[in-house]
Every structure is written in C-alpha cells, then in structure tokens.
C-alpha cells in the first residue's frame, strides 16, 4: 500500500520537475510573454478593426447627360445618400477612365433623353450602372444600394403624380443573435479561433523538433521520465499560456469591441480548454514527426494556421464551398471551435450545439495524442 503511494508520489514529483523545467523555458524567454499577451492583442485589434464586410461608403462617379429635372433629382438622390461618395465626371469617357484606373467603384450614367422617355408612352427610361466587378462582394452591395435609391426615386415620383406605387409584397427581415448584422460580431469569435490555433499548434510544433535539432532530446530520454510524463510536461505550460491569452482576448472583445456574451464564462472556458486538446496534440504530433524546426513550422502553418483561417468558416462561409472542400472542413477542429465560440458569444449556452462539437474536438485530440505517444515510443527504443 505504502509502496503504491511512494510510486504515485514520485510520479508526481517527476511530472512536476519536467513541468517546472518547461515552464521556466517558456517564462524565461521574453518572447513567450510577447506571444501570450502582445501578439493576441495585436491580432485581435487588427481583426476587429481591419476586417469588415460591412461596406460603408463607396466612391462612385455620376455622369449626367440629361440636364432635366428628373435626371437631376436622381443624381441628387445618389449624392445625398450616405452610402455613396460621388466624384464628378463630365462625360461617359472620363467616368469609364475613373473606373478603369481604380479611382471609383461604379459609374452611374443617366443618359440624354432620360426625362423625356420617362414621360413618353412606349419607351423605357434607362439608367446605366457600370460596376467594378473585380471585387464581387462590394459589387453586390453597390447593386443593392443603387436599387434601393432607384426604388425611392420611383416612389417619390409616383407620389408627386398622385399614383403611389404600393409595394405589393414586403419582406420583413430579422437577424437573430445579431440584430444589426454587424460582421465584427461573427468575425471576432473567429479571430479567437485563429489566435488559439496559432498558440496551440504553431508553438508546440517547435517544442520537440527544437530538442532534436539541439541534440538535447537524448538527455531528456535518458531521464527516468515516462512518455506520458514527457507529453503532459511539454503540453501543460503551453496550455496555460494559451488559456491566459484566451482570457486576454475575451476581455478585449467584451470591453473594447462591445461584443455581447450571451452564454456563460463557464461554457467559454470549457470550449477553449477542449479546443486546446486537438490544437496542442496536432502541434506535438508535428513536432515528433519533423526533424527540423523549419520543417515543423512550415507544416504547422500549412495544416494548422491556414485551415483555421480559410476553412473554418471564420471568414468564408463553409456552406458555399464545393462539396469536396466541405468534406475536408469536417476534419478541421477549428471549424467546430468557431461554431462553438460564435454560439456562446452570440446565442448563449446551447448545449445541444456545444456538446457534439466538443466531443468531436476531444476525439481528434485523442487521436493526435495517441499518434504522438506511439511515435515517441519508437524513438525511445
């Protein structure tokens, strides 16, 4: 009985020893603190301010070839709209030039005869809109804005003539969880996923590769430490580091970016801790597979960071991707983290959503740690 007790105690002592060694290595390096606090803050700041899908003001040019009252009324409606900043263009050619040289995003041409055609029978008055289609998202917004101003113009004209155009069908749109459809609200939880991946996977991917490169790995293997102890000892300091920076991120999101937290801190902490299992596991697996830090870093970037950025639904909607790519995203832990974070922040503790996601992350994490454990064993022989 006391024999078991001694063994358990020495096991803990050994674990504590390697954790202290790893912890010292992490905390003594000033760059660790930069990584845990400064880097996440900078990134969150950049993500929060730099990334926005909410088109604010679009620069356009208006070419009015018709000097009449109606043409002027429509041009004024465009100018006074809060969506557009109107640059003057004297004729169609100069408007097209502005568009081609990337100075404006669209050119609205009100052709000669516009006013006359508007009142004549059997003719159609046309307004031409040349849109810079190179960036389709903005182009879509421009379509929507011009359409809205045009409807307003027609309605005002109808009222003037005593025949109001009643909109026969209206669509009442409501956004759940994010009433004003602010893109920042869904982008910030996504940025946290990216930051956590960065800390969890990229940093740990260098951990064992570094010891291998420096030749200190043999020394580590020569100690009485078991594989389990090495794994836990190497992982835990990074786990704590990542949790600290997650806390920093959450505080920043709530205080600076005014993100609502409709779920609980408990759910938030739980989801973050669970996500770190596959993130750290992936990093360690890379670290035991690759022999150099350079190769490990590249692999970590390719399989960890980039998928978290591109394939997690952070910026690009997964449902719009081709089926083969959607299938690939199913294997990416960041995808599940993203949905979970967005849910906890914006919708609340929907456990029916969170639990399946967490189970999946744990499953992938177990797989990564299992593979790491096996590889570590092979080298010990």
Partner 1 sequence: MLQRLLAIVRKELITMLRDPRARLALIIPPIIQLFIFSSAATMEVKNIAVAVVDLDRGPYALDVQQRLAGSRSFTRLPPYANVASARGALEREQVIGILVLPSGFSADRAAGRPASAQLLLDGRRSNAAQITAQYVSTIMAAGAAPAANAEVVIDNWFNPNLDYRWFMLPNLVGMLSLGVALMITALSVARERELGTFDQTLVSPATPFEIALGKLLPPLLVASVQATLYLLIVTLLYGVPFRGNLLVFYAAVLTFAEACAGVGLFISSLVHTQQQAFLGAFAVLLPFALLSGFATPVENMPWWLQFVTTINPLAHMLRLMQGLFLKGASVASLAQDLVKLLEIALCTTTAAVLLFRRKAA
| 3-class state of residue 320 by DSSP | helix
> Residue 81 Cβ, how far from partner 1 at the closest point, in Å?
14
Task: Report the 3 state secondary structure along 180-232.
Answer: CCCHHHHHHHHHHHHHHHHHHHHHHHCHHHHHHHHCCHHHHHHCCCCHHHHHH
User: Given candidates 41, 77, 112, 139, which one binds partner 1 under the rule CB under 8 A?
Assistant: 139
| Span near partner 1 by CB under 8 A; candidates 2-10, 13-21, 202-210, 217-225 | 202-210
Minimum distance between the CB of residue 264 and partner 1, rounded to whole angstroms? 17
CB of 179 to partner 1, least distance (A): 7
Query: In the set 16, 46, 330, 355, which binds partner 1 (CB under 8 A)?
Result: 46
List the structure tokens of 103. Answer: 């100075």
Tell me if 112 contacts partner 1 by CB under 8 A. Answer: no
Binding of partner 1 by 186 (CB under 8 A):
yes
Tell me the window of 16-24, 166-174, 270-278, 362-370 that interacts with partner 1 (CB under 8 A).
166-174
By CB under 8 A, name the one of 1, 172, 222, 255 that touches partner 1: 172
Using rule CB under 8 A, residue 216 touches partner 1? no
CB atoms closer than 10 angstroms to residue 153 = 17
Distance CA(292)–CA(328), nearest Å, equals 27
- Candidates 49, 164, 359, 374: give the one binding partner 1 (CB under 8 A): 49
Q: Closest CB to partner 1 among 13 and 352? A: 352
Q: Greatest CA span in the chain, whole angstroms? A: 104
Q: What phi and psi, each to the nearest 5 degrees, are found at residue 53?
A: -100, 0
351 binds partner 1 (CB under 8 A): no
Q: Tokens 């190497």, residue?
A: 234
Alpha-carbon distance of 31 to 43, in angstroms, equals: 16
Q: Which helix (H) or strand (E) holds 151?
A: helix 136-160
Q: Does 129 bind partner 1 (CB under 8 A)?
A: yes
**Interacting residue with partner 1 among 36, 339, 358, 376 (CB under 8 A):** 339
Residue 23 in 3-state DSSP?
helix
Residue 43, interface with partner 1 (CB under 8 A)?
A: yes
Cβ distance to partner 1 smaller for residue 72 or 210: 210
Q: How far is it, in rounded angstroms, from Cα 114 to Cα 35?
A: 61
Looking at residues 271 to 330 of the shown chain, list those that interact with partner 1 (rule: CB under 8 A). Answer: 293-295, 297-298, 301-302, 306, 310-311, 313, 315-317, 319-322, 325
128 binds partner 1 (CB under 8 A): yes
Q: Dig out the tokens for 1 from the structure.
A: 């009985």
Picking from 339, 342, 373, the residue whose alpha carbon sits closest to that of residue 356 is 339
If the CB atoms of residues 28 and 174 are measured against partner 1, the closer one turns out to be 174
Q: Which of 176, 215, 222, 224 binds partner 1 (CB under 8 A)?
A: 176
Binding residue (CB under 8 A) for partner 1 from 192, 288, 346, 364: 346
Q: How far is the CB of 13 from partner 1 (least distance, A)?
A: 29
Which of 254, 318 has the CB closer to partner 1?
318
CB of 82 to partner 1, least distance (A): 14
| DSSP per-residue codes, 243-263 | HHHHHHHHHHHHHTS-----S
The stretch near partner 1 (CB under 8 A) out of 174-182, 229-237, 248-256, 275-283 is 174-182
Q: At what angle do helices 183-197 and 333-342 cross, to 10 degrees?
A: 140
- Tell me the C-alpha distance between 190 and 157, whole Å: 46
Q: Smallest gap, in angstroms, from Cβ of residue 342 to partner 1?
A: 4
Q: Do 258 and 176 meet the contact criterion of CB atoms below 8 Å apart?
A: no
Note whether 51 binds partner 1 by CB under 8 A.
yes
CA 128 to chain centre: 36
Instruction: Decide if 75 contacts 62 (C-beta within 8 A).
Output: yes
């Amino acid at each position: 009985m006391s024999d078991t007790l001694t063994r358990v105690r020495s096991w803990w002592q050994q674990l504590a020893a390697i954790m202290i060694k790893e912890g010292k290595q992490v905390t003594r390096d000033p760059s660790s603190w930069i990584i845990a606090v400064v880097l996440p803050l900078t990134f969150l700041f950049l993500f929060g301010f730099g990334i926005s899908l909410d088109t604010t003001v679009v620069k356009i040019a208006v070419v009015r070839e018709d000097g009449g009252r109606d043409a002027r009324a429509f041009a004024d409606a465009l100018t006074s709209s809060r969506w557009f900043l109107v640059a003057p263009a004297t004729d169609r050619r100069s408007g097209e030039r502005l568009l081609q040289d990337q100075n404006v995003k669209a050119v609205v041409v009100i052709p000669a005869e516009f006013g006359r055609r508007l009142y004549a029978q059997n003719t159609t008055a046309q307004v031409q809109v040349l849109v810079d289609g190179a960036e389709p998202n903005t182009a879509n917004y421009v379509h929507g804005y011009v359409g809205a101003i045009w409807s307003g113009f027609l309605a005002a004209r109808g009222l003037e003539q005593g025949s109001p155009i009643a909109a026969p069908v209206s669509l009442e749109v409501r956004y759940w969880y994010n009433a004003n459809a602010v893109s920042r609200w869904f982008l910030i939880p996504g940025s946290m996923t990216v930051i956590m991946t960065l800390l969890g996977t990229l940093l740990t991917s260098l951990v064992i590769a570094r010891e291998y490169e420096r030749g200190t790995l043999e020394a580590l293997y020569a100690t009485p430490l078991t594989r389990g102890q090495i794994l836990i000892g190497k992982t835990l300091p990074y786990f704590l580091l990542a949790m600290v920076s997650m806390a920093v991120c959450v505080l920043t999101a709530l205080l600076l970016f005014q993100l609502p937290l409709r779920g609980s801190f408990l759910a938030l902490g739980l989801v973050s801790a669970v996500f770190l299992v596959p993130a750290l596991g992936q990093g360690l697996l890379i670290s035991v597979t690759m022999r150099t830090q350079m190769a490990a870093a590249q692999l970590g970037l390719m399989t960890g960071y980039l998928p978290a950025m591109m394939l997690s639904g952070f910026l690009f909607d997964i449902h719009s991707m081709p089926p083969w790519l959607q299938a690939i995203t199913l294997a990416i832990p960041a995808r599940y983290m993203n949905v979970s974070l967005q849910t906890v922040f914006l919708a609340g503790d929907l456990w029916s959503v969170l639990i399946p996601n967490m189970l999946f992350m744990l499953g992938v994490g177990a797989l990564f740690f299992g593979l790491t454990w096996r590889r570590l064993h092979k080298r010990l022989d």
